[in-house]
Amino acid sequence: MRKKIAVLPGDGIGPEVIEQAIKVLDAVADRFNHHFEYQHAHVGAIAIDKTGNPLPEETLEACIDSDAVLFGAIGDPKYDNDPSAKVRPEQGLLRLRKELGLYANIRPVITYKKLLHLSPLKEEKVDGVDLVIYRELTSGIYFGEKGRDENSAFDVCFYKTEDIDRITHAAFQAAAKRKKKVTLVDKANVLESSRFWRSRVRELAKEYPDITLDFMYVDNAAMQLIQYPKQFDVVLTSNMFGDILSDEASVLNGSMGLLPSASIGIRTSLFEPIHGSFPQAAGEDVANPMAAILSAAMMLDELEMTKEARVVRTTVKHILEKGIGTPELNAKYKLHCSQVGDMVAHLIAEDISLDIGEDRLAEKISTII
């Protein structure tokens, strides 16, 4: 297959982790006979520096014109302490979400046995966690009417039927391929928009008789995610609640550097590691590229290259379970960001297994990287 991919590395560690994801995509292309054509474009603080605009028109055009968007990270300390600055890197991302109609943000969280000790929770609480958050991404309080005068301010949480319906279908379809459970997280004891969500979701659930639907208030969900995260399969929720809960869920498995995301659009979809731009580590070659690599795997799934996506995920898992990784994983074999990328790419291109004795493993690693 031939696919056009817009590559938006962004700020901080974005460029270096995206470089690794591209190495891996190239290895996939080699092995499975595909052709990926990349079009690089700026977004975020670097785009502001170059053009004054966090999402320049040519970047938006490159995205619209491609089959998928691979996104790094945005943000720079010079904007962090001034949330009211007129031009900010986040505006680029929010506008991109709206322009591409990225209505569903999907954030899977799984655990790796070898890394359980990194979790802030007890190992037995997190061992076996396998959940995915479906966060509505183009409506709600983020995009509702806003206003301010001298003595007051407001942000409206507004939802239309179609905003709720399309992500609800996506969530139920995902649950059908997983553990067959959807939990709608809301604040229906207080908010009218939540009561509206409940009635729509309850109605649509009738089309999916095999899926169990349950409801949870967001304050309780915040607690349950810590107390008993294994109960969750697909968590369906609105924009703001999803923003908060997905950050909470992202620490369960011990490293944010392992978590990918997909934002499904009406036409083009966007794939992005969930970690931020981590400016302190930029250019140091220590960032964990696995989240970006796994985001590329989610992209392959969306491009209907399911087998290829599976190979990427299996390879990543295999490497992590062998105790190989970037320094923050406390790995037995500590590699740089670029070396992790080389290793994943090499194992995929050559279809090599690491199923060898511990004594030969170190030797093998040194020949690969």
Contact 263, 295 (CB under 8 A): no
155 binds, among Mn ion, ligand IPM, none (CB under 5 to 8 A by kind): none
DSSP string, 251-299: TTTS-GGG---EEE-SSSEEE--SS---GGGTTSS-S--HHHHHHHHHH
Separation between Cα atoms, residue 218 and residue 239, nearest integer Å: 12
Residue from 19, 99, 165, 243 that binds Mn ion (CB under 5 A)?
243
* Residues whose CB is less than 8 angstroms from the CB of residue 82 and which lie 6 or more positions away in sequence, other chains included: none
Annotated active-site residue in 79, 112, 142, 159: 142
- Let me know if 187 is a catalytic residue: yes
Residue from 127, 155, 243, 328 that binds ligand IPM (CB under 6 A)?
243
Asked if 115 is part of the footprint of ligand IPM (rule: CB under 6 A), the reply reads: no
Looking at the Cβ atoms of 146 and 307, the one nearer to ligand IPM is 146
Residues in the chain: 369
90 binds, among Mn ion, ligand IPM, none (CB under 5 to 8 A by kind): ligand IPM
C-alpha closest to that of 43 among 79, 17, 8 = 8
- Let me know if 130 is a catalytic residue: no
Asked if 106 is part of the footprint of ligand IPM (rule: CB under 6 A), the reply reads: no
x/- site string to ligand IPM, residues 64 to 103, per CB under 6 A?
Answer: --------------------------x--xx---------
* Angle (deg, nearest 10), helices 306-321 and 337-350: 130
Looking at the Cβ atoms of 93 and 258, the one nearer to ligand IPM is 93
Q: What single-letter amino acid sits at 139? A: S
Q: For residue 6, list its beta bridge partners.
A: 39, 69
Separation between Cα atoms, residue 274 and residue 259, nearest integer Å: 6
x/- site string to ligand IPM, residues 4 to 33, per CB under 6 A?
Answer: ------------------------------
Contact 116, 127 (CB under 8 A): yes
Question: Which positions touch ligand IPM (CB under 6 A)?
Answer: 90, 93-94, 243
Question: Which positions touch Mn ion (CB under 5 A)?
Answer: 243
Residues with catalytic roles: 142, 187, 219, 243, 247
